[in-house]
């Protein structure tokens, strides 16, 4: 639950040239070019909001009765079939709610795009200049 500014600054310090990653793993020299791109921005924002989705899905999985999966196994359904026909449909509602929560959180986030996005020269909705 750290603020986005702190998370972004930590990633910048970790991944920058001669940063902590290159000090710990000298063979990682040159990987900062890949990090300071749109993909790196997406990675940092995804890692920041991932716990919200994880919490939603974990609670949903814990509330699924094990008897449903056992009934599928008794009637001869394989693991993949049980996942596709029993488990995933029961998670779809919570997944949709979690996706909406992550979308709104990402849309309203200012810290990561302002610190990391401006460094890479990429403006997003929350940091775009107004006309």
Q: How confident is the model over 73-88, as pLDDT tens digits?
A: 999 999 999 999 989 9
Residue 53 CA: distances (Å) to CA of 39, 41, 56, 88: 20, 18, 5, 15
Q: What is the pLDDT of residue 1?
A: 63
Mean of all residue pLDDT scores within the chain: 86
Query: What is the full per-residue pLDDT of the chain (131 aa) written as tens digits?
Result: 677 788 888 888 888 888 888 899 988 888 888 888 888 888 888 888 899 899 999 999 999 898 988 899 999 999 999 999 989 999 999 999 999 998 888 887 878 888 888 888 887 776 777 76
pLDDT at residue 10, as a whole number: 87
Q: What is the CA radius of gyration of the chain?
A: 20
């Amino acid at each position: 639950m750290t603020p986005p500014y702190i998370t972004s600054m930590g990633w910048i310090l970790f991944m920058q040239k001669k940063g902590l990653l290159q000090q710990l793993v000298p063979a990682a020299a040159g990987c900062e070019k890949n990090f300071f791109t749109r993909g790196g921005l997406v990675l940092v924002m995804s890692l920041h909001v991932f716990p919200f989705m994880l919490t939603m899905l974990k609670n949903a999985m814990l509330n699924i009765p094990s008897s449903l999966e056992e009934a599928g196994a008794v009637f001869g359904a394989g693991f993949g079939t049980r996942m596709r026909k029993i488990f995933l449909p029961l998670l779809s509602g919570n997944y949709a709610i979690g996706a909406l929560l992550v979308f709104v959180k990402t849309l309203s986030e200012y810290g990561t795009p302002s610190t990391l996005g401006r460094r890479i020269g990429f403006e997003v909705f929350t940091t775009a200049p107004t006309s």
